[in-house]
């Protein structure tokens, strides 16, 4: 398989559509996809972070920090994880700390694991995201939201994580469901 041409179809701020012409075993085809990059397929590194924060305040049970956010493409509110775009030249851990402060108003106390850039939905986009598993502390009170954001912080102990994981009516991001299932199977928030 070989990509022979890529054409930019839109001029938007955060994401654009591109049409790729490809050849495969004598067949020529066209594939439309979204990209946050000015030139798809040529930038190494990540575009965004997805954050898996566990709130650990002294004397309280650990709780997974989630968000409930209005998502225009979904047409309503969706449970998800705090996330954000990595700014040009910004180290991933710095982006994690900034997004946690902005979206959920908590302090990062430990960075347990940051993954390599992972493809978020490779049939639709070339977006690469790093997942950061972190501990946080404090009270989720202050949010520095952009005008386009409508976010409510949701704290879930292990029982609530298990309930939400098994709730077929809960609209949620696939990455959040995977994290919920992981913690459900572990039997604790670790």
Strands (DSSP E) contained in 47-181 are 48-55, 63-71, 76-80, 83-85, 107-114, 118-119, 128-137, 151-156
From residue 112, how far is each of 10, 52, 131 by CA, in Å? 38, 10, 11
Residues of the chain with pLDDT > 90, as a percent, come to 87
Output the pLDDT for position 149.
Answer: 86
* CA dist., res. 63 & res. 151, Å (int): 18
Summarize the confidence of residues 164-184 as an average pLDDT. Answer: 97
Output the pLDDT for position 97.
Answer: 97
* Whether residue 43 has pLDDT greater than 70: no
* Whether residue 41 has pLDDT greater than 80: yes
Output the pLDDT for position 147.
Answer: 84
Output the pLDDT for position 42.
Answer: 73
Calculated CA dihedral for residues 12, 43, 81, 111, nearest 10 degrees: -140
Q: Is residue 29 within a helix (H) or strand (E), and if so which, with residue range?
A: strand 27-35
* Whether residue 169 has pLDDT greater than 90: yes
Stated pTM of the model: 0.91
Q: Tokens 């049939």 — which residue? A: 123
Residues of the chain with pLDDT > 70, as a percent, come to 98
Sorted by sequence, the CB contacts under 8 Å of residue 41 that are 6+ apart come out as 3, 6, 126
Query: Domains in the chain and their CATH numbers?
Result: 2-35 (no CATH), 48-186 (3.90.79.10)
Sorted by sequence, the CB contacts under 8 Å of residue 126 that are 6+ apart come out as 33, 35, 37, 40, 41, 119
Residue with the larger pLDDT of the pair 95 and 39: 95
Summarize the confidence of residues 163-187 as an average pLDDT. Answer: 97
Q: How confident is the model at residue 142 (pLDDT cuts 50, 70, 90)?
A: low
Helix, strand, coil % in the chain, rounded to nearest 5 = 20, 40, 40
Residue with the larger pLDDT of the pair 143 and 89: 89
């Amino acid at each position: 398989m070989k990509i022979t041409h890529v054409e930019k179809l839109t001029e938007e701020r955060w994401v654009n559509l591109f049409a790729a012409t490809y050849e495969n075993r004598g067949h020529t085809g066209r594939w439309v996809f979204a990209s946050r990059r000015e030139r798809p397929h040529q930038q190494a590194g990540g575009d965004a972070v997805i954050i898996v924060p566990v709130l650990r305040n002294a004397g309280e049970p650990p709780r997974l920090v989630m968000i409930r956010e209005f998502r225009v493409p979904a047409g309503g509110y969706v449970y998800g994880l705090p996330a954000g775009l990595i700014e040009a030249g910004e180290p991933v851990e710095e982006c994690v700390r900034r997004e946690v402060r902005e979206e959920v108003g908590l302090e990062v106390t430990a960075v347990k694991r940051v993954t390599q850039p992972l493809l978020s939905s490779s049939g639709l986009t070339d977006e690469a995201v790093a997942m950061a598993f972190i501990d946080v502390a404090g009270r989720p009170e202050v949010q520095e939201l952009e005008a386009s954001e409508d976010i409510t912080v949701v704290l879930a102990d292990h029982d609530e994580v298990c309930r939400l994981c098994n709730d077929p009516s809960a609209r949620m991001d696939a990455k959040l469901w995977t994290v919920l299932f992981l913690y459900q199977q572990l039997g604790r928030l670790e």
